[in-house]
Each structure stands twice: as structure tokens, then as C-alpha cells.
Amino acid sequence: MKKTLKLTAITAMISATLGLSTFANAAIEIKAAFNQSDSHPQYEALQAFGQKLNEETDGRYKLSIYPNELLGDQRAALELVQNGAIQMAVVANPLIENYDATYRVIGMPYVYTGPEHQEKVFTSGALDELFASTNRFGFEVLTAYTAGARSMYTKNAPVNTVGDMQGNKIRVMQSETMIKMLSCMGGTGVPMSQGEVYTAIQQGVLDGAENNEITYADLKQYEVAPYFSSTRHLMVPDLVVISSYFINTMSKEDQETLRRLAKESTPEQFKIWNDRISAAMETAKAHGAKFNEVDITPFQENCQPLQQALTDSPAQKALFQKIAALQ
Ligand code: GCU
């Protein structure tokens, strides 16, 4: 009897060890490209998502996030996802607009009344159909993360009026809409990837850029463009995308777990984001940044014609109405 017990214990130990090593070997790596640092709120939200995915799939999947454009800028990363070379990426909405113009609506100037409205739009299911539709390009949008509100920041002087923007060369994300957006704000948009911005301002190729407070501080752009003028002209979503090829290699059950957990990470990400804004501003101020409030009405008026042009097709109109109804 004693012998049998001992044997059973040994067998259990061996199979536990074997089990563990099979577990470790079997974990399939999901590589995710991220263009900002590992202290960014989206990195943290993604990391928590990865941990839950690992637990809920009994260790079958393991998420590895590559920050700071290690896997390329957003445009390159999206192409890698599309052809299945990597599995996931976080990319700003303008990159996806280049594939499907309906996306322009969720990233156009002054479309959300504020963070609460944006969170409702992202978590209400209003975007589900749109997100699933990109499968035809080889990737699926799992969920949207907030990147706050974007404002202008400049090297030489603050921006208070549309006139102040005249002649300013401002970096924008890589899409037609972003170039047009910068014109309606009064300046000239220069499309460029995020990683090049700091040096371009420093060398005088640009007069400034536009982004949210967290990215401004995270990438230390206050060092080269100390005037942060709160125009809050855009609340562009960041989209968490996954390769269609890859997700189809997963069992139906694992696919559903992954989709659900990605959606659940969005309210969490909003929370981390909102908690970090003031600390980012303090960091920037401590390094000499000067923040000024701006009367946004003239900017909003100038951007009206662009808003109309971006809600022209039936699909864009329908989406715009869905968003407006959630105010
Ligand atoms: C924000 C956004 C990024 C984007 C960046 C940019 O930081 O979160 O996804 O890449 O702006 O301006 O390029």
C-alpha cells in the first residue's frame, strides 16, 4: 500500500513536471508591435490583456509586446500583421482609414464631446460591424483604445488663434485626412512617423507637432517644442489589430476568449489614461513646457467643411449618426 502511494506520488510529480514543460513549450507567442514606451497606458492595458489571455487559455497563448517601434513604425507594423509575419499591433486610426474611408468618421476633428462620449462609443458595440469588416484586408480590429485629445505644440510661440498657425509646418499622422485637418486648423501638415518627430523639430524641418499630453511627455517632445496650446482638435482612436490569418489558426473558443478580453481591456485602458494626464503635464512643466488654454470655437468653425466632407458616403453618415446618438 505504502509502495503504491509512493509510486502514485512520484508519477504525479513526473506528470506535473512534464505537464508544466509541455505547457511552456506549447505556448504560442503573439507578437504585438507598439510604437510608444513600456510606461504608456496602452502598454499596461495590453499587458494585462495578455496575462488574462494566458490564464484563460490555460497557457496556450503568450503575448509579447515590442515597444518603441522595435518592430517598425505603425505603417510597417500594420503590413506585418496583414501578411501574418507578426500577430498584433496597436495602430492609430488614420493608418486604417487608408484602407477603408468609413474609419475617417471615428477620427475626425471635434467628433466626440469628450472622453465620456468616446468611451461610450468604444464600448457600446456601435463599432463592432465596422471593426469586423476589415477582415477583407487581412486583419481584424479587436477593440479601440483612447489616446486622449490632441493639441498643437510648437517650437517658437504659443498658438491662440487660427492666424497663429499660418506658416507653421506641423507633423501629422500618415493620412490624407490628417493633412486636411491641419489645413483647417490654419497650418501645413507634414505626414511622418512618430519616431522621426523629435529630431525633425529639433533640426527645424518642422515647427511643431500635435498630440496628447501623455505622448508629449512620454517622448520628451517638450524639450524641442515647449509651447503646448490646448486646441483639443482631435480624439483619434488607437486600434488594436490582429492578423486574420493568425486568429483563424485558433480554436473557436480561444478566438472568442481573445475577442472578449480585448474588448474588456478598453474601459480599463480609459481609466489608466485618465489617471495619467495630470502627471504627464506636471512632468512636461517641470521641464519647461508652457501650457495655454485656447478658444476653440474659431477652430471648430474652420473644420466644419471638413467634417461635412468626411461624412459624405451613406456608410460614413450612418456611422456619424450612431456616434452622435451616444452623446
Ligand atoms: C498617439 C497615438 C499613437 C500615434 C501617435 C502619433 O500617441 O497614441 O498611436 O502613433 O499619437 O502621433 O503617431
Measured CA to CA, the distance from residue 142 to residue 98 in angstroms comes to: 18
DSSP state of 87: S
| Site residues for ligand 1, CB cut-off 6 Å | 35-36, 74, 92, 147, 173, 194, 211, 215, 238
Radius of gyration of the chain (CA): 22
DSSP for 106-155 reads: GGSTT-SSSHHHHHHHHHSSTTHHHHHHGGGGTEEEEEEE----EEEEES
In sequence order, the β-bridge partners of residue 55 are none
For domain 29-147+237-277, the CATH superfamily is Bacterial extracellular solute-binding protein, family 7 (3.40.190.170)
Q: How far is the CA of 147 from the centre of ligand 1 (A)?
A: 7
Residue 29 Cα to ligand 1 midpoint, Å, equals 25
Contact call for residues 88 and 31 (beta carbons, < 8 A): yes
Give the mutation target among 236, 240, 269 for probing the ligand 1 site: most ligand atoms within 8 A of CB: 236
Name the CATH architecture for the domain at 150-235+280-325: 3-Layer(aba) Sandwich (3.40)
Q: Are the CB atoms for 326 and 117 separated by under 8 Å?
A: yes
Q: Domain limits of the chain?
A: 29-147+237-277, 150-235+280-325
How far apart CA 104 and CA 90 sit, in angstroms, is: 17
Q: Are 287 and 224 in contact (CB under 8 A)?
A: no
pLDDT for 25: 59
Q: Is the ipTM of this complex over 0.90?
A: yes
What is residue 26's predicted lDDT score, i.e. its pLDDT?
A: 79
Residue among 215, 269, 272, 276 whose CB has most ligand 1 atoms within 8 A, to mutate: 215
Report the SS3 class of residue 67.
Answer: coil
Please give the pLDDT value at position 234: 97
Atom of ligand 1 nearest to the CA of 145: 8
Distance CA 279, CA 285 (A): 10
Q: What is the pLDDT along the chain (327 residues), one digit of tens a residue?
A: 444 444 444 444 444 444 444 445 579 999 999 999 999 999 999 999 999 999 999 999 999 999 999 999 999 999 999 999 999 999 999 999 999 999 999 999 999 999 999 999 999 999 999 999 999 999 999 999 999 999 999 999 999 999 999 999 999 999 999 999 999 999 999 999 999 999 999 999 999 999 999 999 999 999 999 999 999 999 999 999 999 999 999 999 999 999 999 999 999 999 999 999 999 999 999 999 999 999 999 999 999 999 999 999 999 999 999 999 999
Taking the CA of residue 90 as reference, the ligand 1 atom at the shortest distance is 9
Q: How far is the CA of 1 from the centre of ligand 1 (A)?
A: 66
Do domains 29-147+237-277 and 150-235+280-325 share one topology? The answer is yes
Residue nearest to atom 11 of ligand 1 (CA): 211
Ligand 1 atom, smallest distance to 218 CA: 7
